[in-house]
Amino acid sequence: MGERKLFCDECRTNVVFTINQKKKEGSIKGEKYSYIGKEAHCVNCDSEIYVAEVNDFNLKALYDEYRKKNNIVSLEVILAIPKKYAIGKRPLSLLLGWGEQTFSRYCDGDMPTKQYSEILQKIYDDPTYYAEILKNNKENLKTTAPYNKSKRAVTQLLGRTQNIKTNIDMAIEYLLSQCEDITPLALQKALYYIQGFYYAFYKEFLFSEDCEAWLHGPVYRDIYFRYRNYQFDPIEGNDEFDDSVFTSSEKSIFDSVIKNICCYSGKVLEGFTHLENPWLLTRGELLPTIASERTIDKELIGTYFNSVKEKYNMINANDIKSYTQKMFEQI
């Protein structure tokens, strides 16, 4: 076979060409990005020649730079997810509660939103996170075959280590074992108050996870996706929980939150948080109807709940009641 030739506008004939790397610049959404691309040139007159695969390479390099600068999951990671977890593109979209073709479009190069990007990156990085999604959302799948196949794959990846639980996992299990009708919204607020009041009394944060200032108050993102299918319904829990895993300090906060905070509905607790500095200061100038993914700084939470403890002269965890009663009067 001879050398490949393409038409050169200057030479007005098909010519041999060379391809070389070159630093290039392109614009996406009004912003300029520099990247290492390629150019094809005629070997006779050195004019640039259009080569389809070179153009495709440059587009991908430009968008890869955009993804990198804007912290968007890479195309390579997106394409690796179905193979890693032995699940098809369409079943994965259904599992995540997206449109049937959404994940396929991302595989074809469409750019995911930041929220979806974070989900996809975490799915790739954390098999435990994916295993929870698979377990909680399996009803989204039209047949059992994709679930069974993917379950085998993720179990093998985990190496049976999925029983390792974090503080927030154990706190959730305890809350669900003690509260008969706790909804996802109420659970989020209970966790937030556990974090705040534990710090106020013991000067350390119980959970390493950050929460975000969403429309309906503080939200732990991963926990939201774990239980979102319950929507406004109470989350099912296990009545049997060995609370000996907790220290006396932890249990005192848990029990007081259950008694004095979980007695209110999720919407009431949402109202509480909308009056509190951590949520208000994090959202800043945002209108009440504007969605937000801003992280609530743990220092804000600690400072606020320290001030609450001092203002209400709290001696022990049971004194949380005086604060919640006052908040209820204000909403």
Closest-CA residue to 226 (of 99, 160, 129, 103): 129
pLDDT of the residue at 121: 92
Q: At what angle do helices 145-158 and 75-85 cross, to 10 degrees?
A: 100
Q: How far apart are CA 233 and CA 255, in angstroms?
A: 22
**pLDDT tens string 97-129:** 999 999 999 998 888 988 999 999 999 999 999
Taken in order 153, 139, 125, 74, the sign of the CA dihedral is positive
Q: How does residue 1 score in pLDDT terms, banded at 50, 70 and 90? A: very low
Q: How far apart are CA 85 and CA 129, in angstroms?
A: 12
Closest-CA residue to 256 (of 184, 315, 173): 315
Could you give the domains of the chain?
Answer: 5-69 (3.10.20), 75-158 (no CATH), 168-330 (no CATH)
**pLDDT tens string 267-317:** 999 999 999 999 999 999 988 788 888 999 999 999 999 999 999 999 999
pLDDT of the residue at 288: 77
What stretches of 113-262 show up as alpha helix (H) in DSSP?
Answer: 114-125, 127-136, 145-158, 167-178, 184-202, 221-227, 248-260
Which residues partner with 214 through β-bridges? 217
The three-class DSSP label of residue 137 is coil
Q: How far apart are CA 89 and CA 159, in angstroms?
A: 24
**pLDDT tens string 45-104:** 999 999 999 998 898 888 888 888 888 888 889 999 999 999 999 999 999 999 999 999
Q: Are the C-beta atoms of residues 166 and 182 closer than 8 Å to each other?
A: no
List Cβ<8 Å contacts ≥24 apart for 157-166.
Answer: 157/84, 157/85, 157/127, 158/127, 158/128, 158/131, 162/128, 162/131, 166/207, 166/208, 166/209
**pLDDT tens string 198-211:** 999 999 999 999 99
3-state DSSP percent of the chain in helix, strand and coil, to 5: 55, 10, 35
Taken in order 89, 91, 97, 100, the sign of the CA dihedral is positive
